[in-house]
Each structure stands twice: as C-alpha cells, then as structure tokens.
Chains A and B, each alone.
Chain A
Amino acid sequence: MASNTKNVQFDAAAQVEKIAEQFQMFQILNEEGQVVNETAMPDLTDDQLQELMRRMVYTRILDQRSISLNRQGRLGFYAPTAGQEASQLASQFALEKEDFVLPGYRDVPQIVWHGLPLYQAFLWSRGHFEGGQIPEGVNVYVPQIIIGAQYVQAAGVALGLKKRGQKAVAITYTGDGGTSQGDFYEGINFAGAYKAPAIFIVQNNQFAISTPREKQTAAETLAQKAVAAGIPGILVDGMDPLAVYAAVSQARERAVNGEGPTLIETLTYRYGPHTMAGDDPTRYRTSDLDNEWEKKDPLVRFRKFLEAKGLWSEEKENEVIEQAKEDIKEAIKKADAAPKQKVTDLMSNMFEEMPHNLKEQYEIYQAKESK
C-alpha cells in the first residue's frame, strides 16, 4: 500500500492559492469615481446617493472636530474614524431601523446615524453613564471595548431576532487585529451553526495600533476566515461606498431570508492615530503609505461620481459642513449641561433592586452628597 501512495503529494500551495482566488476584491467605484462594475450597481435613488454623501462629509467633520475637542480636553476617549467613512456609513446605510448594531470602540458614527443623539456619543467619550442610556427604539449597544466580545453577542442578538420571527439582522464590527481573537471565531461559528441573521464586518484598516495586518495571520485575506465557520465571506473595497453598500445589502437580504450570516472584510485605512490617547502613527507607518491611501479617499471618489451625475456641488458640501459644525457645537453644549455623576447614581444603575451591601453604602454616600 505504501508503494502506491508514496508519489501522491498533497498540493499545499495550490490549496492556499485556490482559497485566495475565491476572495477577489469587490469594487464598484474606482479612485476616479468611475463605475467599474455596472452590473453590481446598487439600486439607490438620487436622494439616497446624496444622503450617503452628506453623512460621509458630516462624519469627516465630526472626526476633525472630535480630535480638536479631545485636544482641548472637552472630549475623552476618542478613536479617529477619518478614512473609514465608506466602510462605516455605507454599511449602516444599508440597514433598517429594526436592525441591531453592536459597535466596536471605533464605530460611534454607525450608532449615531442609527439614532443615538450626538450629545450622548460625546458623553460616552467623556465617560458619563448618560452616554449609554440608549433611547427607546434605537437598536444599538454601546461601543464595545473588549475586542471580539461584540461578535459572540451579535450571534446571540441575531438568534433572538430569529426566535422572535423578526425580519431584521444583527450587525457588528471589528478591526483586522480583532480577527485574531477567539470570540471573533466563536461568534461567526455560532451564528453559522444557528443560521442566525447576522452580518459580521471586519474593517481592515491594516494596523492594530502598531501591528500590521501581516503579523495577525498568514491568511491571504481576512474574508476567507468565514470558511472556518462555513459561511460566505466577501472582500470589499472599503474605500468604495457603493461596493460596501451593495455587499451589506446582499448580506442583509440573505440573512432576513433565513439563509444565515455573512462575513464582510472592508479594506480601508485610518488616516489618524489609533486613539487620541498618545498613539503616534509615524512610529509605525510611512508617509508613502499614508499618501497612497489618501488617493483612495472615499469622499474624493464619491464626490467625483456624484458631480459627474450633477448631484453634488461645493455649495452642497459647504452646507453639510456648516450644519455639522453647528450640530456638534449644540451637542457639546448639551453634554456640558448633563448633571455631574454622583456615586449614588452609579449604585442605582447596578441592579433592579439593590442588595443590602449597596443599600448600606448608598446611605453613606447619600449623606456625603447632601453635605
């Protein structure tokens, strides 16, 4: 028997190559704003196209102002978003109000556009419990700090929606580094095993703080990690709003039709630092790389696309910018007006009914606070 098999070789190289071939990058708009994949064009009205651009511009301004407010000490924890507008906002744009969003710490824009008031996003940044008091009917959770936790939770939310018979999905986001976590894999695998309506997005901005994507995994793409869960995976140009929108729409359609979850890798880039807590990207990124990705800016290509269709102008853009600045000013004012947190508030939010140790401590702090 051995003599019959000794020349049979497992073609490892071909296997790796064939897997990678199945995850070609999906793109609709190139860097010049030209449609390179007409057949995949999503069905969006002129108004919707303009609204998507409006949100992307607005969010770029939100990022600029947030960085500046953070530097002035008027915001706390902040993870910059510039560069990821297509990845973040075009994906959220493909959702319905009934869909539930489980964001990572960089995914504040998605939950703001899903209905979280801006001043609450600012309170979350500062570290105030009112920031997490999600308004009734807004289907989002607060940004998740533990990388990967949102993935297993999304599987649970999706299973919940399925059990309730709702035509809605759970959508969650992580980064390239996050795909190395156990919870990342468990989340997509659970959702797959239960055929739950979940959309898992990996925003591959190519760096997890200072660690390049190559150091996370030998896998050619992150989208192919879907194979381990037996679910479809799509690699999409994360700087292309139309491609992101189309990929998420399709995943949503599959999910609400009971066909299960999808993993979507959006290839993108963050122009700023990892967070505003002292990260310096010049230590680990070259200016050449920054320049290369600035050419791919989602705003630039979408602006060109819309201008060619006569749907966008400098005037329109300036209106959005002014509106954003005004809203941000208002929101910061409203955040400033939030009452200072007291220890008794924190205690009240622990349980429905306080256990006796907290009751006892509550009285002590109540006495301190009334002095």
Chain B
Amino acid sequence: MAQMTMIQAITDALRTELRNDPNVLIFGEDVGVNGGVFRATEGLQNEFGEDRVFDTPLAESGIGGLAFGLSLQGFRPVPEIQFFGFVFEVFDQIAGQLARLRYRTGGKFHAPVTVRAPFGGGVHTPDMHADSLEGLMAQTPGLKVVIPSTPYDAKGLLISAIRDNDPVVFLEHMKLYRSFRQEVPEEEYTIPLGKAEVKREGTDVSIITYGAMVHESLKAAGELEKEGYSAEVIDLRTVSPIDIDTIIASVEKTGRAIVVQEAQKMAGVAAHVVAEINDRAILSLEAPVLRVAAPDTVFPFPQAEAVWLPNFKDVIETAKKVLTF
C-alpha cells in the first residue's frame, strides 16, 4: 500500500496497463516527454518509449480518428483530451464513430478505447476547461462513462476501463487530482464498471452523487448527523450505465433521496437517476426526489465559481427539504 493522490493513482494504473498489454498506447497533446499538463503520464514515455506513449498534433478530432484507426489495427488506445470542454472538436469521433463501431459492423470490429479527460470546477480555469459535459456522453449509446472521486477508485476503474473492449470515457475531476491522499494498493486490481459504492451508510436519506460532489455530500452528511439525520452517500462512480440496484436498495431503505451533481440542472445525469427511482421505487418514497445542480447558465467566469458551483451547503439545504417534506 502507498499513499497516493488521484493523479498518482491514475499514472500508476496507466503504468500497470502499459506493462500488462503491449497493445496499450497512450497519446494526446503533451502527454509524452512533458508527462501531461497535469503530470498524469509523467515518466511513462521514458519507461515505455515513444512508440507506446507519444504526442500528437494539436487537433482533437485527429486524436479521435487516430484512436479509431489504431483500434482497427488491434491496438488498445488510451487517448487524452487535454480538457473535456474541447470534446466538441472530437464529438463525431467519440459519439459518431467509436461508440458505433461494434454495432455498425455487426460485431466484426470493436473499439477498446479509453478516452481520458480532465474536467470540473473550483480551480479557476479559463473558459471551456471545467464544464461538466458527462451528460452528453451518457446520452450516447455505445459508450460507458466513468467518473472516479478517490485515488483508490481511480486506479481500479481506470484499469477496468482500459481492459474493457468497448469505448469508455474516463473523466478526471481537476479539483480532486491532488486534493487528498489515500491508501492505494501497489499491485493491480479492478473495480467493475457500472457499480456504485456506498461511501457512507445511513438510514434517513439517500444522497446519490458523483465526482467532486461526493466529497461535498460526505461533508454535508457529517453536518446532518450533528442535527440527528443519518444520510447514506452513494458514489455512482460510473454515470453510464448507472447502478440501478445499489440506488434502489438504498432508496427502499431510506424512503428519501436527493441527487447531487456539479453540472447544470438541465445537464448531467441527475434527471435520469430521478426517473429511474420514480419508475422503480415510488412506493418507497416519503417525499419527491430533489436535485442539487448548478444554475442553467454557461459555466461561470472564474471569479464567479464560488457562488455558482453547488457545494455542501446546497446539499444540506436540499436534504432538509426532503427530510422535512
């Protein structure tokens, strides 16, 4: 075991898979000699060579096309999109091409591609760096979308993502890259995709969340406990497909639920979670399922992040509304 930040756990997962499978290729803008703009690929080119870890021209669609073409030649590409706000440049290659490769060829070809990209607010990045666009990906048949919130999860989920034989979008929250350390096993391990985790057990209300909001929700749960409320915090970990069983089991136990996301209310995956609960557990509900989400504006100018981004106070407020409905 070693104490690792999330970024170190990601590097460790990438190193593990580069060692395990000669078909794994890592490429993107400045991921080679530079080791990535966040150091996620630091030391990897040095250890595995330019043939395995290499830089690309500055063009996201080209990077997506490269991943697609390398898949057709039996490689296991792990491309990086420098910031997920730049996904619009490569939307066709991800949603229009990679996600459909297996279906279009009736299973004759497939795309074992893991697209890594940082996202997320709270670190005062310039325009189009921090937007939460997982909702766009989650609405694309053929993709899986993974968002870890801890170093331990990041490593196990990334290894699973890379080994998956279908395309996975792996979104890394910038604020969580180095915000804390956690014990992470040095050996390889996997966490199944599509499996949520109960990060805190509780009996009065289920807080279903992902990404940086997991930590806001845990903080809120601590505060709520002081007021005598027991909140269960579920980290989705995979936002497409969502883990229905874990969500429903929790809601059936608590009878109350909120869904917490950093994305705007009209975006993200919260509406989908609410709909699934309504479909499957309405008879268990003591109150409607409410959402904590950002306002439906464009992602804020950096100085307005603090007033715009949802935080633990919003979680407490919404949880209380549901608890006292």
| Partner-B contacts on A (CB < 8 A) | 100, 129-130, 132-134, 141-142, 146, 149, 151-161, 163-164, 170, 182-183, 186-187, 189-190, 193, 346, 348-352, 355-358
Which residues of B sit under 8 angstroms from A355, Cβ to Cβ? 144, 194, 241
Flag if B194 contacts A155 (CB, 8 Å): no
Please tell me which one of the listed residues B69, B102, B165 contacts residue A155 in the complex, with CB atoms under 8 A apart: B69
A-B contact pairs, 16 of them (CB 8 A): A129-B103, A133-B105, A146-B96, A146-B97, A149-B97, A152-B68, A153-B93, A156-B70, A156-B71, A160-B72, A163-B70, A163-B73, A190-B56, A349-B103, A350-B102, A358-B241
Residue of B nearest to A128 (CB): B106
Flag if A156 contacts B103 (CB, 8 Å): no
Tell me if B36 is interfacial: C-beta within 8 Å of chain A.
no
Which residues of A sit under 8 angstroms from B72, Cβ to Cβ? 100, 141, 153, 156-157, 160
Residue of B nearest to A139 (CB): B72
Flag if A186 contacts B51 (CB, 8 Å): no
Nearest first, the 3 closest Cβ-Cβ pairs linking A and B are A156-B69, A152-B65, A160-B73
Residue of A nearest to B238 (CB): A355
Flag if B69 contacts A183 (CB, 8 Å): no
**B298: shortest Cβ distance to chain A, in Å?**
24
Flag if A134 contacts B69 (CB, 8 Å): no
Flag if B75 contacts A163 (CB, 8 Å): yes
Give 1 or 0 for each of B159-178: 1 = CB within 8 Å of chain A CB.
00000111000000000000
Tell me if B313 is interfacial: C-beta within 8 Å of chain A.
no
**B182: shortest Cβ distance to chain A, in Å?**
28
A134-B108, A349-B106, A355-B194 are contacts. A183–B97 as well, Cβ < 8 Å? no
Please tell me which one of the listed residues A142, A152, A350, A356 contacts residue B66 in the complex, with CB atoms under 8 A apart: A152
Instruction: Decide if the interface of chain A is mainly helix, strand, loop or mixed.
Output: helix
- Which residues between 31 and 88 of chain B lie within 8 Å of chain A, taking CB atoms? 51, 56-57, 59, 61-62, 64-75
**B39: shortest Cβ distance to chain A, in Å?**
24
A351-B166, A356-B194 are contacts. A133–B69 as well, Cβ < 8 Å? no
Please tell me which one of the listed residues A132, A152, A352 contacts residue B165 in the complex, with CB atoms under 8 A apart: A352
Which residues of A sit under 8 angstroms from B59, Cβ to Cβ? 186, 189-190
Flag if B65 contacts A351 (CB, 8 Å): no
Tell me if B237 is interfacial: C-beta within 8 Å of chain A.
no
Tell me if B104 is interfacial: C-beta within 8 Å of chain A.
yes
**A166: shortest Cβ distance to chain B, in Å?**
9
Tell me if B189 is interfacial: C-beta within 8 Å of chain A.
no
Flag if B103 contacts A350 (CB, 8 Å): yes
Please tell me which one of the listed residues A156, A183, A351 contacts residue B67 in the complex, with CB atoms under 8 A apart: A156
Flag if A155 contacts B241 (CB, 8 Å): no
| Partner-A contacts on B (CB < 8 A) | 51, 56-57, 59, 61-62, 64-75, 92-93, 96-97, 102-110, 141-142, 144, 164-166, 194, 241, 243-245
Which residues of B sit under 8 angstroms from A346, Cβ to Cβ? 103
Residue of A nearest to B104 (CB): A132
Which residues of B sit under 8 angstroms from A160, Cβ to Cβ? 69-70, 72-75
Flag if A182 contacts B61 (CB, 8 Å): yes
A156-B69, A170-B69 are contacts. A352–B110 as well, Cβ < 8 Å? yes
Known A190-B56, A349-B102; further 7 A-B contacts with Cβ < 8 A: A142-B104, A155-B66, A160-B69, A164-B73, A164-B74, A350-B103, A357-B244
Interface centre among B68, B106, B142, B244 (most CB of A within 10 A): B106
Interface centre among A141, A155, A351, A357 (most CB of B within 10 A): A351
Which residues of B sit under 8 angstroms from A183, Cβ to Cβ? 61-62, 65, 92
Alpha-carbon separation in the docked complex, A141 to B59 (Å)? 23
Alpha-carbon separation in the docked complex, A356 to B244 (Å)? 8
Flag if A351 contacts B66 (CB, 8 Å): no
Flag if B93 contacts A157 (CB, 8 Å): no
**A363: shortest Cβ distance to chain B, in Å?**
14
**A57: shortest Cβ distance to chain B, in Å?**
30
Which residues of B sit under 8 angstroms from A357, Cβ to Cβ? 241, 244
Which residues of A sit under 8 angstroms from B70, Cβ to Cβ? 156-157, 159-160, 163
Which residues of B sit under 8 angstroms from A356, Cβ to Cβ? 194, 241, 243-245
Alpha-carbon separation in the docked complex, A350 to B142 (Å)? 6
Flag if A149 contacts B96 (CB, 8 Å): yes
Flag if B51 contacts A163 (CB, 8 Å): yes
Flag if B57 contacts A189 (CB, 8 Å): yes
Residue of B nearest to A355 (CB): B241
**B238: shortest Cβ distance to chain A, in Å?**
9
Alpha-carbon separation in the docked complex, A159 to B165 (Å)? 20
Flag if A154 contacts B69 (CB, 8 Å): yes
Interface centre among A151, A156, A186 (most CB of B within 10 A): A156
Flag if A149 contacts B62 (CB, 8 Å): no
Flag if B65 contacts A153 (CB, 8 Å): yes
Which residues of B sit under 8 angstroms from A163, Cβ to Cβ? 51, 70, 73, 75
A186-B61, A352-B110 are contacts. A156–B102 as well, Cβ < 8 Å? no
Which residues of A sit under 8 angstroms from B102, Cβ to Cβ? 349-352
Alpha-carbon separation in the docked complex, A304 to B203 (Å)? 87
Which residues of B sit under 8 angstroms from A170, Cβ to Cβ? 69
Which residues of A sit under 8 angstroms from B103, Cβ to Cβ? 129, 346, 349-350
**A265: shortest Cβ distance to chain B, in Å?**
21
Alpha-carbon separation in the docked complex, A190 to B72 (Å)? 17
Please tell me which one of the listed residues B106, B144, B243 contacts residue A133 in the complex, with CB atoms under 8 A apart: B106
**A150: shortest Cβ distance to chain B, in Å?**
9
Alpha-carbon separation in the docked complex, A356 to B142 (Å)? 13
Alpha-carbon separation in the docked complex, A193 to B55 (Å)? 11
Flag if A133 contacts B57 (CB, 8 Å): no
**A144: shortest Cβ distance to chain B, in Å?**
9
Alpha-carbon separation in the docked complex, A356 to B110 (Å)? 20
Which residues of A sit under 8 angstroms from B57, Cβ to Cβ? 186, 189-190, 193
**B142: shortest Cβ distance to chain A, in Å?**
6
A351-B102, A355-B194 are contacts. A189–B73 as well, Cβ < 8 Å? no
Residue of A nearest to B72 (CB): A157
Which residues of A sit under 8 angstroms from B93, Cβ to Cβ? 149, 152-153
Flag if B92 contacts A146 (CB, 8 Å): yes
Alpha-carbon separation in the docked complex, A66 to B106 (Å)? 24
Residue of A nearest to B240 (CB): A355
